[in-house]
Chains A and B, each alone.
Chain A
Amino acid sequence: MDGEVLTEQETALYDRQIRVWGVDTQRRLSKAHILVCGMKGTVAEFCKNIVLAGVSSLTLVDDRVATEEAISANFLIPPDENAYGGKTLAELCCDSLKDFNPMVRVSVEKGDISSFGGDFFDNYDVVVASCCSLATKKSINEKCRKLSKHIAFYTVDCRDSCGEIFVDLQHHRYSKKKLDENIKCQLQYPSIEEAISVPWRALPRKVTKLYFAMRVMERFEEVEGRNPGDVLSADLPGILKLKKELCEANSLNESHVPDKLLERLVMGTREFPPVCAIIGGILGQEVIKAISGKGEPLKNFFFFDAMDGKGIIEDISNPESGS
Chain B
Amino acid sequence: MDTIEVSNLNRQFLFRQSHVGQSKAKVAREAVLKFRPHIKITPYHANVKDPDFNVDFFKQFNVVLNGLDNLDARRHVNRLCLAAEVPLVESGTTGFLGQVTVHVKGRTECYECQPKPAPKTYPVCTITSTPSKFVHCIVWAKDLLFAKLFGDKNQENDLNVHSTDAASSSEQAEDAFERRKDEDIEQYGRRIYDHVFGYNIEVALSNEETWKNRNRPRPVYSRDVMLNGLAQQNGNIFGATDDPSSVSAMASLGMKNPQDIWSLMENSRIFLEAFKLFFVKREKEFGNLTFDKDDQLAVEFVTAAANIRASSFGIPLHSLFEAKGIAGNIVHAVATTNAIIAGLIVIEAIKVLQNDTNNYRMTYCLEHPTRKMLLMPVEPFEPNKSCYVCSETPLTLEINTHRAKLRDFAEKIVKAKLGMYFPLIMHGSALLYEVGDDLDEDMVANYAANLEKVLCELPSPITSGTTITVEDLKQELTCNINIKHREEFDEEKEPDGMLLSGWTQSSSVEKDDNKSIDNGGSTSNASQTVPVDSEKNDEMGSVSSGKKRKLSEVPDAAAQDFSSVADSDGSRNHKKLELVDDDDDLLMLDADPGINKKKRLQ
Report B322-367 residues with CB < 8 Å from chain A CB.
Answer: 325, 330-340, 342-347, 350, 361, 363, 365
- Bitwise, A138-157 to B at CB < 8 A (1) or not (0) is 00000000000000000000
- The answer to the question of B212 belonging to the interface, with a C-beta cut-off of 8 Å to chain A, is no
- The answer to the question of B487 belonging to the interface, with a C-beta cut-off of 8 Å to chain A, is no
- The answer to the question of A311 belonging to the interface, with a C-beta cut-off of 8 Å to chain B, is yes
* B93 to A: closest C-beta gap in Å: 11
Chain A residue with the shortest CB-CB distance to B338: A281
**Considering only CB atoms and an 8 Å cut-off, how many residues of chain B contact the other chain?**
79
CA A20 to CA B372, docked complex, whole Å: 23
- The answer to the question of B13 belonging to the interface, with a C-beta cut-off of 8 Å to chain A, is yes
Residues in A whose Cβ lies below 8 Å from that of B10: 13-17, 52-54
Residues in A whose Cβ lies below 8 Å from that of B96: 20, 285
Chain B residue with the shortest CB-CB distance to A179: B535
- The answer to the question of B167 belonging to the interface, with a C-beta cut-off of 8 Å to chain A, is no
CA A132 to CA B96, docked complex, whole Å: 30
- Bitwise, A252-265 to B at CB < 8 A (1) or not (0) is 11011000000000
- The answer to the question of A244 belonging to the interface, with a C-beta cut-off of 8 Å to chain B, is no
Cross-chain contact B538 with A319 (CB below 8 angstroms) = no
Stretch from A32-40, A118-126, A199-207 that touches the partner: A199-207
Cross-chain contact A16 with B589 (CB below 8 angstroms) = no
Q: Tell me which of A20, A45, A202, A284 has the highest count of chain B C-beta atoms within 10 A of its own C-beta.
A: A20
CA A315 to CA B340, docked complex, whole Å: 22
* A271 to B: closest C-beta gap in Å: 12
CA A206 to CA B589, docked complex, whole Å: 13
Cross-chain contact B539 with A176 (CB below 8 angstroms) = yes
- The answer to the question of B163 belonging to the interface, with a C-beta cut-off of 8 Å to chain A, is no
Cross-chain contact A319 with B13 (CB below 8 angstroms) = no
Cross-chain contact A22 with B361 (CB below 8 angstroms) = no
Stretch from A56-64, A74-82, A214-222, A230-238 that touches the partner: A74-82
Question: Given contacts A22-B543, A252-B588, are A310 and B376 in contact (CB under 8 A)?
Answer: yes
Residues in B whose Cβ lies below 8 Å from that of A80: 37
Cross-chain contact A178 with B374 (CB below 8 angstroms) = no
Cross-chain contact B343 with A276 (CB below 8 angstroms) = yes
* A310 to B: closest C-beta gap in Å: 6
- The answer to the question of B375 belonging to the interface, with a C-beta cut-off of 8 Å to chain A, is yes
- The answer to the question of B6 belonging to the interface, with a C-beta cut-off of 8 Å to chain A, is yes
Chain B residue with the shortest CB-CB distance to A181: B548
- The answer to the question of A275 belonging to the interface, with a C-beta cut-off of 8 Å to chain B, is yes
Cross-chain contact A319 with B601 (CB below 8 angstroms) = yes
Q: Name B's interface SS.
A: loop
- The answer to the question of A109 belonging to the interface, with a C-beta cut-off of 8 Å to chain B, is no
- The answer to the question of A277 belonging to the interface, with a C-beta cut-off of 8 Å to chain B, is yes
Cross-chain contact B539 with A294 (CB below 8 angstroms) = yes
Cross-chain contact B590 with A201 (CB below 8 angstroms) = yes
CA A313 to CA B369, docked complex, whole Å: 8
Pick the contact of B13: A22, A48, A201, A313 (CB < 8 A): A48
Residues in B whose Cβ lies below 8 Å from that of A281: 335-340, 343
Cross-chain contact B259 with A19 (CB below 8 angstroms) = no
CA A5 to CA B346, docked complex, whole Å: 39
- The answer to the question of A323 belonging to the interface, with a C-beta cut-off of 8 Å to chain B, is yes
CA A99 to CA B336, docked complex, whole Å: 18
Report B124-164 residues with CB < 8 Å from chain A CB.
Answer: none
Question: Given contacts A281-B339, A309-B361, A309-B375, are A295 and B539 in contact (CB under 8 A)?
Answer: yes
- The answer to the question of A130 belonging to the interface, with a C-beta cut-off of 8 Å to chain B, is no
- Bitwise, B579-591 to A at CB < 8 A (1) or not (0) is 0101111111111
Report B358-413 residues with CB < 8 Å from chain A CB.
Answer: 361, 363, 365, 368-369, 372-377
Stretch from B198-206, B426-434, B592-600 that touches the partner: B592-600
**Considering only CB atoms and an 8 Å cut-off, how many residues of chain A contact the other chain?**
80
Question: Given contacts A52-B13, A202-B598, A206-B583, are A274 and B540 in contact (CB under 8 A)?
Answer: no
Pick the contact of A17: B13, B334, B583 (CB < 8 A): B334
* B184 to A: closest C-beta gap in Å: 33
- The answer to the question of B602 belonging to the interface, with a C-beta cut-off of 8 Å to chain A, is yes
Cross-chain contact B335 with A53 (CB below 8 angstroms) = yes
- The answer to the question of B16 belonging to the interface, with a C-beta cut-off of 8 Å to chain A, is yes
Cross-chain contact A313 with B374 (CB below 8 angstroms) = yes
CA A275 to CA B542, docked complex, whole Å: 30
CA A50 to CA B541, docked complex, whole Å: 18
CA A282 to CA B343, docked complex, whole Å: 11
* B427 to A: closest C-beta gap in Å: 48
Cross-chain contact A289 with B339 (CB below 8 angstroms) = no
* B168 to A: closest C-beta gap in Å: 45
- Bitwise, A92-117 to B at CB < 8 A (1) or not (0) is 00000001101000000000000000
Report A301-323 residues with CB < 8 Å from chain B CB.
Answer: 302, 304, 306, 308-315, 317, 319, 322-323
Pick the contact of B346: A15, A274, A315 (CB < 8 A): A274
CA A176 to CA B539, docked complex, whole Å: 6
Question: Given contacts A278-B339, A278-B340, are A311 and B587 in contact (CB under 8 A)?
Answer: no
Cross-chain contact B540 with A289 (CB below 8 angstroms) = yes
Cross-chain contact B335 with A52 (CB below 8 angstroms) = yes
* A237 to B: closest C-beta gap in Å: 23
Pick the contact of B540: A21, A99, A322 (CB < 8 A): A21
Cross-chain contact B541 with A292 (CB below 8 angstroms) = yes
Top-8 shortest CB links A-B: A311-B375, A22-B541, A309-B377, A277-B343, A19-B332, A281-B339, A281-B340, A274-B343
19 new A-B contacts, CB < 8 A, other than A13-B10, A298-B374, A309-B375, are A12-B7, A16-B10, A18-B543, A20-B332, A22-B541, A80-B37, A177-B539, A201-B588, A202-B595, A205-B596, A206-B583, A251-B589, A251-B591, A253-B588, A255-B586, A277-B340, A281-B337, A311-B365, A311-B373
A/B interface sample: 12 pairs, CB < 8 A:
A12-B7, A17-B333, A18-B543, A19-B332, A49-B335, A202-B595, A277-B346, A284-B339, A294-B539, A304-B375, A310-B376, A310-B377
